[in-house]
């Protein structure tokens, strides 16, 4: 869904009202001179020390506590394994999905239109023009009627391990002992 939205935004087929007000994020940020008087109040509200050395110590302790919790939970973590001394995070099994995730997946599937592989290939060939690279070396691409469709079908058949059908000729009939009609 998001890739289609991004493609429509890039092509200009869809727009977001008021998006021109977010043209440059850096123009909207406060300068350090504006932030400095507010930093002590912010640190007090966030529960952070204002002294740089104390702040560094605070985050070092937080990191050490998090590392200790991860180390303590490692034996029960079946997704993380060590292979040849390197940590490897395996893909999580699908059985642990909660009901909210299943509802979200169902809602996304219900709202997404079904797309066929041929439709996707045709759309990308039309938008990107990749089918022009499949033309003959001579450049006589204009002699092929509907070259876009021909090249998309060729990519589809070879990409799905289907081969173009060729008709039997007399040599095949003689080779395989089939009668020639």
Q: Where are the domains of the chain?
A: 117-176
- CA dist 131 to 135, 146, 162, Å? 7, 11, 19
Give pLDDT, residue 142: 66
Measured between alpha carbons, how far is residue 177 from residues 27, 56, 169 in Å?
Answer: 80, 85, 12
Q: Distance between CA 26 and CA 69 in Å, rounded?
A: 38
Instruction: Give the pLDDT confidence score for residue 181 in this predicted structure.
Output: 40
Taking only the tens of pLDDT, the chain with its 181 residues reads 777 777 777 766 777 777 666 556 677 788 889 988 999 999 999 999 999 999 999 999 999 999 999 888 878 887 888 888 888 888 776 667 788 988 998 999 899 888 888 888 888 988 988 887 776 666 666 677 777 888 888 888 877 877 655 554 555 545 544 444 4
Q: What is the pLDDT of residue 178?
A: 47
pTM of the model: 0.35
**What does the pLDDT read at residue 167?**
53
In our burial notation (b when 16+ CB lie closer than 10 A, e otherwise), range 138-161 reads eeeeeeeeebbeebbbebeeeeee
The first and second tokens of residue 120, run together, are 């996707």
| Per-residue confidence (pLDDT) for residue 28, from 0 to 100 | 75
Q: Output phi, psi for 46, to 5 deg.
A: -85, -10
pLDDT at 179: 45
């Amino acid at each position: 869904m998001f890739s289609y939205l991004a493609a429509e935004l890039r092509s200009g087929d869809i727009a977001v009202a008021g998006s021109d007000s977010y043209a440059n994020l850096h123009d909207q940020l406060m300068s350090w001179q504006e932030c400095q008087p507010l930093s002590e109040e912010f640190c007090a509200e966030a529960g952070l020390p204002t002294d740089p050395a104390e702040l560094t110590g605070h985050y070092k302790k937080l990191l050490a506590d998090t590392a200790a919790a991860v180390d303590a939970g490692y034996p029960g973590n079946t997704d993380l394994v060590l292979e040849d001394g390197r940590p490897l995070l395996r893909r999580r099994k699908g059985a642990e999905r909660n009901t909210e995730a299943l509802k979200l997946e169902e809602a996304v599937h219900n709202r997404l239109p079904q797309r066929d592989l041929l439709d996707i290939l045709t759309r990308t060939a039309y938008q990107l023009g990749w089918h022009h690279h499949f033309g003959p070396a001579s450049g006589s691409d204009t002699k092929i009627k509907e070259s876009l469709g021909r090249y998309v079908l060729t990519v589809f058949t070879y990409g799905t391990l289907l081969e173009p059908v060729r008709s039997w000729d007399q040599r095949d009939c003689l080779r395989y002992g089939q009668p020639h009609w």
